[in-house]
Amino acid sequence: MDRDAILLTPGPLTTTLRTKLAMLKDWGSWDADFNAVTARVRERLLDVVHGHDSHVVVPLQGSGTFSVEAAVATVVPRQGHVLVPDNGAYCKRAARLTQMMGRRVSVLPAAEERPVDAAAVDAALAADASITHVILIHCETGTGVENPLAEVAAVCERRGRGLIVDAMSSFAALPIDARSVRFDALVAASGKCLEGVPGMGFVFLRRAIVDACAGNSQSLAMDLHDQHVYMGKTGQWRFTPPTHVLAALDAAIAQFVEEGGQPARLARYGDNCRTLVDGMAALGFEPFLAPEVQAPIIVTFHAPAHPAYDFKRFYAAAKARGFILYPGKLTQLETFRVGCIGAIGRNEMQQAVHAVADTLREMGIASGAPAL
């Protein structure tokens, strides 16, 4: 095979050669040239959410989950109480990390196949005045469902509660406008829809709450307030930054802008998703989610009912044909997931469907139809 495998995952994902080449240079972490890259990336990230007037953006080393944990620890006071509407695996992770940091947490269960109900969030806030913050997963990557950010944000604003948004797999693809949607913190990462490489996250903090965040975090390395203050004074990261990752993100953002920004990226991912779902339907596969709640980020498919189906064999055969799939994340049903994001388009999605068709033939499976 003369190319890398196409990553049909929610990140890491397939990147362009231009993004890869940006990592060939070594940088001094305190050098003025590198500080200029940091400043440029921060400015362009604020552009994406129209947040220059309302928010600051603080980058952080590590995976996206590092930044979710940092956001909760920085924004939520030690005596705070967090409500997590839960319709999937990443909601459960948010609740777990909140609890592990010593914050009180309440979980609002919801069906995995449906978006979070903003009215149910409103009722929960009305019933418990001790709740100070809500954590919302914008796109629940465990299934691919899009949760109603604008509606939940409106509830939190009306009730006077803080909102922390995990926008890991939605940022730069689904529309997010800080001028019309109020959030205290919004978290995303380099290796998702901006099509950079993994290794750093970033958190948008609402300017009005920044000063009140001082001293909340119990962690030195993950204190976003301290990172923000230090960057403001010096232009530098407090601790060794992921220099090559940032350089790749700088290149990836330049390509994002050239492509046409968020609307163009959403259009490409939407076309990827339609191409995938239509092609897989022709093979008998059925998506877990109804079309009206499916975000064009990652699609969960029911596993075939055929007795010869085994995910490990299915995965290995697809990989041999140049495509990396993703295991399911549901607890009650057997599924697998296929990502629609990354530096790929309709051709790659059609090739992926052909690879799945070849894989089914190799496994002796006539149809991908599930046992429903």
Instruction: Inform me whether the pLDDT recorded for 339 exceeds 60.
Output: yes
Q: Structure pTM? A: 0.96
200 and 282 both lie in a single domain: no
Of 258, 292, 322, the residue that ends a domain is: 258
pLDDT at 11: 87
Q: What is the pLDDT of residues 140-199, one digit of tens each?
A: 999 999 999 999 999 999 999 999 999 999 999 999 999 999 999 999 999 999 999 999
Reported in sequence order, the residue ranges of the chain that DSSP labels E, i.e. its strands, are 6-7, 55-61, 81-86, 104-109, 133-137, 139-140, 145-146, 162-166, 185-189, 200-206, 298-302, 323-324, 326-327, 335-339
Of 258, 287, 307, the residue that ends a domain is: 258
Q: What is the mean pLDDT of the chain?
A: 96
List of residues 6+ apart from 218 with CB closer than 8 A: 73, 78, 101, 102
SS3 98: helix
Residue bearing the bigger pLDDT, 327 or 353: 353
Show the domain range for 354.
Answer: 6-11+261-363
pLDDT at 329: 82
pLDDT at 371: 79
Q: What is the pLDDT of residues 280-303, one digit of tens each?
A: 999 999 999 999 999 999 999 999
Query: Could you tell me if residue 372 is inside a domain?
Result: no
170 and 311 both lie in a single domain: no
214 and 196 both lie in a single domain: yes
213 and 278 both lie in a single domain: no
pLDDT at 372: 66
pLDDT band at 125 (very low <50, low <70, confident <90, very high): very high
Of 228, 258, 288, the residue that ends a domain is: 258
CATH number at residue 307: 3.90.1150.10
340 and 254 both lie in a single domain: no
Sheet holding 326-327, edge to edge: 298-302, 335-339, 326-327
pLDDT at 1: 47
240 and 254 both lie in a single domain: yes
Q: What is the pLDDT of residues 242-281, one digit of tens each?
A: 999 999 999 999 999 999 999 999 999 999 999 999 999 9
For residue 56, what are its two tokens?
A: 């600051």
- Domains in the chain, number: 2
pLDDT band at 332 (very low <50, low <70, confident <90, very high): confident
Q: What percent of the chain has pLDDT over 70?
A: 99
CATH number at residue 247: 3.40.640.10
SS3 146: strand
